[in-house]
Structure 1
Amino acid sequence: MMPAAVPPELAEWFAGRGWRVRRHQAEMLTAADRGRHALLVADTGAGKTLAGFLPTLAAFCPSRAGEAPLPEGLHTLYVSPLKALAHDVQRNLLTPVEEMGLPIRIETRSGDTPSDRKARQRSRPPNVLLTTPESLSLLLSYPEAPTLFAGLKRVVIDEIHAFATGKRGDLLTLALSRLQALSPDLQRAGLSATLADPDAFRGWLAPWGEIDTVELVEGEAGAEPEVSILLPQEERIPWSGHAATWAIPQLIEQVKAHRTTLIFTNTRFLAEYIFQELWNANEDNLPIGIHHGSLSKEARRKVEGAMAEGRLRALVCTASLDLGVDWGDIDLVVQMGAPKGSSRLLQRIGRANHRLDQPSKALLVPGNRFEFLEAFAAQEAVHEGQRDGEPFRPGGLDVLAQHVMAVACAGPFREDALLSEVRSSLAYAWVDEQTFARVFDFVATGGYALRSYDRFRRIVREKDGTWRLAHPEHAARHRLNAGIIVDSEMLDVRFRNGRSLGKVEEGFGASLKPGDTFRFAGMDLEVEALRELELVVRAARRSATIPSYMGQRMPISTHLADRVRAMLFDRAGWSRFPDDVREWLEVQDWRSHMPAPGRLLVESFPHQGRAYTTYYTFEGWPANQSLGMLVTRRMEDRGLGPLGFVATDYALVVYGIKPVEDPAALLSPDILTHEFIDWVQQSYLLRRAFREVAVISGLVERQQPGKRKSGRQVTFSTDLIYDVLRKYEPDHLLIEAAWADARARMTDVARVADVLDRAAQEVDHVRLERISPLSVPALSMIGRESLPSGSADDDLLVEAESLASLAMRVDPVEAPEGD
C-alpha cells in the first residue's frame, strides 16, 4: 500500500529526536486513512505503541484538520492486559503530545482509579482512555455508554496475543461488538510482537466474516537477539530440580557486569526463593528488588519507579512484567528455569534494550537436564524466528452471561439485536438462537432448578419484547462482582500500622497461627494475628517458609515439545551439547530407546520392589497429570495395584505392585469417553471449574456492599449450588461451561488425545532391568512433587544423583528388550 502523508507536526517531532517514521508506522496511518482495521506484528522496540496511536495523533494535528474543528470527546480507546502497561503507555504518550502541543487529554481507567474520577470520565471523557478489558466492560454497563461511545473512532489493543485466546479475550471481543454497534465507523487496531498465526488473530480482530477488512502490517526487522545458556562452571547440569540455585554465584557476577538485569521466574514462589538466594549471596549489597502479582500495589509501584529511575541493579519478577513495560536501561534478561515457549521467551527478551536496532541480550538458566534441552530448543526457535501460541476456542458461556448482564445494566434492549451483536465476533459466531435463549433464561431466572429463588431473578422481559433489570440494585451488584480473573481467594498481609505488603492465598494463610513465620516480599515475617481476611505480621528474626501459590503451572508449548523430541532423535546433533548431557543421552540410547517423532516410547523396569512404567509424552504437566489419573484407574480395574504416579512436562511415571505388560491397552482412545468423564465428575476438577464459571457468570457474588466473602464462603455457596444442579438439572448452562473449562484448561484433554493418537499408531515398549537415564529426572520427584519448587531442590539433587549412578552404570551383557 502507498504510505499516507505524515502530518508535518509529527514529521518534525520525529526529526527533532533524530528518528524516522518507520515503514510499518506509516502503513498503520495509511490503513486508518483508508477506513481499515489493522493488525501490526513487529519486534519489541519497533515503536508498535506509537504506530497504533499515530492515526490518533494525526487526527489532532491542526495541519490535517484544516478549517474543521478538532475532535472532541472520547476519540480513542487503548486496551491492554495490564494496568501497569496502561500507566507506562500514558507516560510515553504524553511526551509527544506535550512536545507538539496537541490538545489531547489522556487518562487511565482501572480498578485502581478513584470513583470520583471514574464518574467524571463518564460525563466528561478524555480524548484518549487507557484501560483493561474488565474496566471497559464495566464502562459499557452504565446508561451513559451509548452517548459516551457514539463518537469513538479507534480502539487500540496492545499485546493482543496475551489475552485474545482466553476468557479475557472473550470479554473484550463482546465489548468490541458492542462498541461497533454504538459507533459503526469504529476502527480496530491490534499490536503484538509474537504471533505464530497472524491470520487467526486477524479473524479474531475483525467483525465476523470480515477478515479482509483487517490489514496485516508487518514491522521492519530488528537486530537478532543474543541468547545464550548459562552452564555450571565446574559441576554438571543437575539431574532434577527447577530452582537452578546452582547458578546463584554466576548470576551475581552477571548482575555486577551489567547496568540493570531483569530476572524472570515462572512462579511467584520461585521469585521469592530466587530473590532470597541472591540476597544471601549479595556481599556487595547491590540494590536488588522483587516484583510479582501478589505484592501490594504500593510495593509494585515503588519497585517500578526505582527501575524507571535506574536505582536497581537487578529485579526478580514473574509474568507480571512480561508485557510491554519500557525500561530502557535494562541490558540483560535472565530466564530462570525452562522458558516453556518461544513466544513467551521472545516477549521477555524484548525487555532488554527495547530498541529495534540493538540486540537484546538474554541468558537462559536451566534447572535440570530436560530444561537444558528445552532451553536449547527455545534458543534455536528464537534464532529461526519461530513462534508458538495458544489456539482459539469457542467463547465461554459464563462470559456471555456476564456480558448480557452488563448490557442490561446500561438500559433496556432487544434480544434479537443483542444476538446479532454477539454473533459478529469470532468467539461467539457459533451461538444459535437456542443457546442464546438458554443464556437469557439463566440470567433471568438462574435456570430451572433455581428459578424459585428471587435472588437469581436479575432481568425481566417486558410486554413489548424488551429486556430490563428486575431491580436497579442489580446494576450495583454486577459492577461490584464483574470480572474474568478468578484467583484463589487471598488474605491481605499487613503490618500492625496498616501498611500493606500484598496478598497470600487463603489456604496458606489459614495454616498459620500466631508466632509462625513465613517469607514474603523479600522479608521474614512473624504472624501476630489472623483476622477474617488479613494476616497481621511483624518483622521476624529467623528464616521462614515461603508461601506456596496455586497459580496455574505453565506447560511446555507443543512447538517446543516437538523440537525437544526431534533433538533427542537427532543423534548427530548431540555433539552440540555439554559432555554430561551428551553422555546422558548416549547411555540412554545404548540401554533403551530414544523417543521418536510420531511414536510413543514406554519403558518398564523394576526398582526397590515396585514395577515402574515411564511414558515419554512431551505433552506438558497438565496433560500428563490427567493421563496419570486415567491410567492408574485402568490399572486398578485390571488388578495391577497402582501405588501412584508423578508427572513432569516431558514424562509420566506410574508405579505399582504388578508390571504393565501391555501399555497400549491402557491407552485406548475410549479412555476419554468412559474413564475421563467418570474421573472428572468424581474429582474436585468439575467443582473447581464450576466455582469459577459461577463467579464469572454472576451466579455467585464474591462481594457485597461493604463486605467481601471469604474463599471458604464462596466455595461453600458454589458447592451447594453445584450439588443441586448436578441432581436436578445436570444439563444446566453453567455445568456445560464448567465441562468446557475442565476439558480445555484444567485437564488439557486435547494434548491427552494427542498421546492416545500416537499410542494407537505405534508404542515402543522397552522392558529394562533397571531405571533408564531418561527417567531419572521424573523418578527423583516421587514423594516430593507436592512440595514447592525450590524448597525440595537439595533433597531432589541427592535422590537424583543416587538414581543416576544406577541408571548410568553400563553392564556389557545388558541389552534392552523391546516390543
Structure 2
Amino acid sequence: MGSPDAPGAFAEAWMQGKGWTAFPFQQEAWQAIAEGRSGMLHATTGSGKTYAVWLGMLDALLRAHPRGRGAEPLRVIWLTPMRALASDTAKALAAPLRDLAPAWTIGLRTGDTPSAERARQDRRMPTVLVTTPESLTLMLTREHARDELSGVEYVVIDEWHELIGSKRGVQAQLALARLRTFHPGLVTWGLSATLGNLENAMEVLCAPDPVPAPRLVQGRIDKTLVIDTLIPPDPGKYSWAGHLGARMQLPVVEEIGRSGTTLVFTNVRSQAEVWYQLLLEARPDWAGHIALHHGSLDKATREWVEQGLKEGTLRAVVATSSLDLGVDFLPVERVLQIGSAKGVARMMQRAGRSGHAPGRASRVTLVPTNTMEIIEAAAARWAARTGRVEKRIPPDKPLDVLVQHLVTVALGGGFRADALYAEVASAWTYRTLTRAEFDWALAFCEQGGDSLGAYPEYHRIVADAEGVYRVRDTGVARRHRLGVGTIVSDAAISVKYLTGASIGTMEEGFIARLKPGDCFFFAGRLLEFVRVRDMAAYVRKATKNKGTVPTWMGSKMALSTELSDAVLEMMQDAAQGDFHEPELEAARPMLLTQQRLSKIPTPHTLLVEGFRSREGQHLYIYPFAGRNVHLGLGSLLAWRLARDKPNTFSISINDYGFELVSAEPFDVEPVTSQAVFSGTDLLHDVLASLNSSELAQRRFREIARVAGLISTGYPGQPKSTRQLQASSALFFEVFRKYDAGNLLLTQAEKEVLSQELEISRLAGTLERMRAKRLDFVALRHPSPMSLPLMVERFREKLSTEQLSQRLDRILRDMEGDASA
C-alpha cells in the first residue's frame, strides 16, 4: 500500500482488510475522483464497479470531512433506475461505511419508503442517499430544496445505459443541472456494463465544459462470457414465430435439472406466464422450488422471489426485464434466454446476472423458438465478441419533461426565468433549446397556452413582483407531486382474491374483455374472473383446466441494427456454403431450402420475392431493419405503389422483412428498379401513408400526462383508461382547433416519427436498400423466409385450428416443391 495520504489510501486499506486486491480500473477511478473529476465507468457486470466509484468518493470525503465531527449531512446521492436495486445497493455501500466512518449514515428513499422513514430523513438527511430519478425530483419540489441539497458533493447514476435513452434520463439530467446550480463543484459519475457510445454517454452525464475534464474508465478484467445455444433437434426446413417454442420445453427442463440456480428470461410478461406453466407441467414436483417474477406481480411476491434467489433456495425463476438490472444474486449459475434477446446489450446484461462476482464466468444459453432465432443466436455471440453493442441516444429536448420541471422548480423555492433557462440549457438534451421554446413552456405553465387561459387550474405558476415564479395553489402542488415522473403506462387494475388478498396488477383493457367465469393464467396460477368493483378485479382459484394468458400493452421488441447486421453476416457465410457455427449447421436445412427455392439475403444484396396465390399478388421484401422500421416501410411502399393506380394492400411484418398482399395485380417494376425506395419527399409520404393523426393522438396522451395536463387520480381514486383517453383526446382536439402552435402537439408528431416509426432509421434503411444489388425471385411456393410473414397475417384472422389446417396444406405443397 502507498502513503496513507495518497489518493485511494483509505479505499486500498479497506479492501486489503477484506483480503481483496484492487483492480487497476478501480484504482484509476479512485485517482480521477481524488482529482475532482466527473466521469463514466464501463466494466463487466459483477466486476466491482460499485466499489470502484464508491470507495473513491468515500476516500475523498474522509479527507475533506474528518470523521470525528459525527454524522455528516447529505453528501452523496446514488441514483438507481429501479426500486428493486435500491436496497441491494444500500447494503453494498453500507459495508465500507460501517468500517471507515461508522458515524456516517445511509438511507433509502423510493416510492416504497415508509412514511416514518421519510419523516426521519426530513428531520435529518443521511450522509448517503440511495434513490430513484422520480424520488430525487420530488425532493426538488420541496420549498427548502436548495438548503437541503446544496451540500451534495457527489452523484452516481447506476445502470446509466438504462436511463440515457429515455425521458427518465432527461429527468435525471435536469435534476443534475439543478444540483450543479446548488453546488457548482458537483462530481458526477455514471456506471454501465453495456453501452456502444461511451464518450457520448459521458458527455450527456457530465456538466458542459467541466474543469477538470471528465475521465472515461474502462474496466478490463478476465471475465469469461459464455454464450451458447440450446439447439432443438431437427429444426426442419420451415419455421415461423413460436414454431419451436413448445418443443423446447423438455430440453429447458433438462438444462435446469443439470444446473444450479437458473434465471429463465423472456421478453414479455405473457411469455413468462406461459413458460412458468410449461416448467410446472413437465415437473410438478418443482412446485415451490421455481417461481415467476415480472413487474405486474404484487410487491410482496417479487420480494419473496428475490430473497429466494439471494439465498439459493429456488431452483429456477422465470422472469422478464424486471430482473435485468444489477441486483446481486450470487447463487445464480445459469441464464436461459427464451427466444432472441433482440439486442446485443440486452443479451450481455442478462448474461451478467450469472457468475455475478469477479473471477466467475457468466453464461447465457439462448433458447430459440424458431429457426431464424437459431441464426440470431450465432449472430449475437459474434457481435458480442467483436464489440458491436447498441448505442443509446437521448431524446431531443422533450418539452413535456421541461414543462413538468418548471413546475417542480417553482415548487422548490421558485426561479427567475433567465437563470433557469441557462440552467436547463446546460443539460445535454436541451443544449439546442431556444429561448422562444423555453418562453413558450413558461407561458404554458403560467397561462395554459392560447386555449386554456380561462381555466385557473392551468395557471400553475405565478411570478411575483420580483420576477420569481412560484406555485401558489395547494391543489396544483398536490397534483404535481402525485404526478412527478415520466414513466407512462396504461391504467392498471388490482387483481385480488375474494378475500381481499392482493395478487398484482393488470392492464384495465385485458380485464375489460373478460366475462364472469372466464379463466386466465396470472402469477403462475389459473384464476377465474368473478367481478370488477372499485378498480379491482376479484378472482378465485379456477377449477377448469384451461385458461387464456394475459396480454399486456406494448409492442414486441424490435431487432437492433447491430444484431440484424450480424444476422446478415451469418447469412452471407451460409450463402457461401460456410456453416462454421453449430447454429448455422442446425439451420442448414432451412437455409439450403431457402437457397433452392429463392436466394439467401446477404449484407450486399436485397432479396425481393414475388408470389401469386388465390389471395392475390404477394410481394416480400427483406431489409433486416426490425419490425418498427418495417411497419413504416410497408405502409410507405404500399402507399407509393397505389399512388398512380388505386389499390388496397394488406401488410404483414416481422424483424427480417414485410409482406404486401393485394387482391388486384400491381406493377412490381417500381420495386425492381428501386424507384419506390426513393428518399425524396420521405416525411410527406410517410405521414400520408399512415393514420398519423391517430398515432399522434395516442402519443399525445403520454405527453399530456408527463406535462401535467391530465392526472391519473389520487391514491385510492385512480382514473380509468377510458377517462384518461377522453381527457387527452379533448386536449388534443382543443389544441388543434384553437392553439395550432402548441409545441406539445409538435412534440407528439415528432415522437411518432422518431420513436414509433424510427424515421431516421427508416431513411437510412431506404438508403442502404438503394445501395444494394436487388435480387428478385418469382416464387412457385412460399419460401422458408416468406412463410413466417404469411403466418403473421393468418393469425390475425384465423382460429388456431384453422391456422393449423392452412399451414399443413401449405407445408405439403412446399415440401413437394422442395423435393422435386
Q: TM-score range by the shorter chain?
A: over 0.9
Q: Is the 8 A contact 1:457 1:470 kept in 2?
A: no
3-state SS of paired residue (2:745):
helix
Give a deviation string over 1:377-411, Cα, whole Å, max 9, x none: 10112233332133234131111111111001112
TM-score (norm 1): 0.94
User: Structure 1 residues 275, 187: closer, same or farther in 2, change over 3 A?
Assistant: same
3-state SS of paired residue (1:77):
strand
Matched, 1:503 2:505: yes
Give a deviation string over 1:470-498, Cα, whole Å, max 9, x none: 42332111001111111111111011222
TM-score (norm 2): 0.93
Q: Is the 8 A contact 2:445 2:461 kept in 1?
A: yes
User: Structure 1 residues 596, 373: closer, same or farther in 2, change over 3 A?
Assistant: same
Give a deviation string over 1:68-118, Cα, whole Å, max 9, x none: 746611010000111101111112223333355622311111111123432
Equivalent residue for 1:555, pick from 553, 558, 563: 558
How big is the shift at 1:644? 1.3
2:739 corresponding residue in structure 1: 729
1:396 corresponding residue in structure 2: 398
Which segment drifts farther, 419-428 or 590-599?
A: 590-599
How big is the shift at 1:575? 4.4
Q: How many residues align?
A: 807
How big is the shift at 1:669? 2.5
Give a deviation string over 1:316-353, Cα, whole Å, max 9, x none: 00011111011001000000001111111110000001
Which segment drifts farther, 64-73 or 513-522?
A: 64-73
1:744 corresponding residue in structure 2: 754
Q: Is the 8 A contact 1:272 1:520 kept in 2?
A: yes
2:88 corresponding residue in structure 1: 88
Q: Is the 8 A contact 1:640 1:659 kept in 2?
A: no
Q: Is the 8 A contact 1:646 1:785 kept in 2?
A: no
1:126 corresponding residue in structure 2: 126
Q: Which whole-Å CA distance do the structure 2 matches of 1:745 and 1:696 have between them?
A: 17
User: Structure 1 residues 354, 387: closer, same or farther in 2, change over 3 A?
Assistant: same
Q: Residue type of the partner of 2:206?
A: A
Q: Which residues of structure 1 form unaligned runs of 5+? A: 814-819
How big is the shift at 1:162? 0.7
How big is the shift at 1:22? 1.6
Which segment drifts farther, 112-121 or 545-554?
A: 112-121
Equivalent residue for 1:718, pick from 728, 731, 735: 728
Give a deviation string over 1:588-638, Cα, whole Å, max 9, x none: 234333323255322111123421111101111111122223333344444
Q: Is the 8 A contact 2:593 2:818 kept in 1?
A: no
Q: Is the 8 A contact 2:623 2:769 kept in 1?
A: no
Equivalent residue for 2:778, pick from 744, 767, 773: 767
Matched, 1:651 2:654: no
Q: Residue type of the partner of 2:285?
A: D
User: Structure 1 residues 808, 428: closer, same or farther in 2, change over 3 A?
Assistant: farther
3-state SS of paired residue (1:774):
coil
Q: Residue type of the partner of 1:623?
A: V
Which segment drifts farther, 356-365 or 680-689?
A: 680-689
Give identity over the alignment, percent: 35
3-state SS of paired residue (2:309):
helix
3-state SS of paired residue (2:285):
coil
Q: Is the 8 A contact 1:273 1:546 kept in 2?
A: yes
User: Structure 1 residues 389, 798: closer, same or farther in 2, change over 3 A?
Assistant: farther
User: Structure 1 residues 73, 692: closer, same or farther in 2, change over 3 A?
Assistant: same
Give a deviation string over 1:656-702, Cα, whole Å, max 9, x none: 11244132344332463323223555553111100000000111111
Matched, 1:331 2:333: yes
1:623 corresponding residue in structure 2: 629
How big is the shift at 1:751? 2.2
Which segment drifts farther, 751-760 or 479-488?
A: 751-760
Equivalent residue for 1:564, pick from 556, 567, 590: 567
3-state SS of paired residue (1:364):
strand
How big is the shift at 1:135? 1.0
Q: Which whole-Å CA distance do the structure 2 matches of 1:799 and 1:751 have between them?
A: 35
Which segment drifts farther, 122-131 or 12-21?
A: 12-21
Q: Which whole-Å CA distance do the structure 2 matches of 1:22 and 1:781 have between them?
A: 50
Q: Is the 8 A contact 1:341 1:557 kept in 2?
A: yes
2:357 corresponding residue in structure 1: 355
Q: Give matches, 1:506-545, under 5 Å.
A: 506-542=508-544, 543-545=546-548
Q: Is the 8 A contact 1:263 1:316 kept in 2?
A: yes
Q: Which residues of structure 2 form unaligned runs of 5+? A: none
Q: Give matches, 1:167-316, under 5 Å.
A: 167-210=167-210, 213-234=213-234, 236=236, 239-242=239-242, 244-285=245-286, 287-316=289-318
Which segment drifts farther, 697-706 or 136-145?
A: 697-706
1:816 corresponding residue in structure 2: none
User: Structure 1 residues 163, 808: closer, same or farther in 2, change over 3 A?
Assistant: farther
2:149 corresponding residue in structure 1: 149
How big is the shift at 1:12? 4.2
Give a deviation string over 1:796-817, Cα, whole Å, max 9, x none: 777556545544555799xxxx
Q: Residue type of the partner of 2:503?
A: L
1:435 corresponding residue in structure 2: 437
How big is the shift at 1:14? 2.0
Q: Residue type of the partner of 2:115?
A: S
Which segment drifts farther, 632-641 or 455-464?
A: 632-641
Q: Is the 8 A contact 2:235 2:586 kept in 1?
A: no
User: Structure 1 residues 736, 247: closer, same or farther in 2, change over 3 A?
Assistant: same
Equivalent residue for 1:604, pick from 602, 610, 613: 610
Which segment drifts farther, 668-677 or 475-484?
A: 668-677
Q: Which whole-Å CA distance do the structure 2 matches of 1:192 and 1:295 have between them?
A: 27
User: Structure 1 residues 682, 155: closer, same or farther in 2, change over 3 A?
Assistant: closer
Q: Residue type of the partner of 1:784?
A: R
Q: Is the 8 A contact 1:60 1:71 kept in 2?
A: no
Which segment drifts farther, 363-372 or 52-61?
A: 52-61
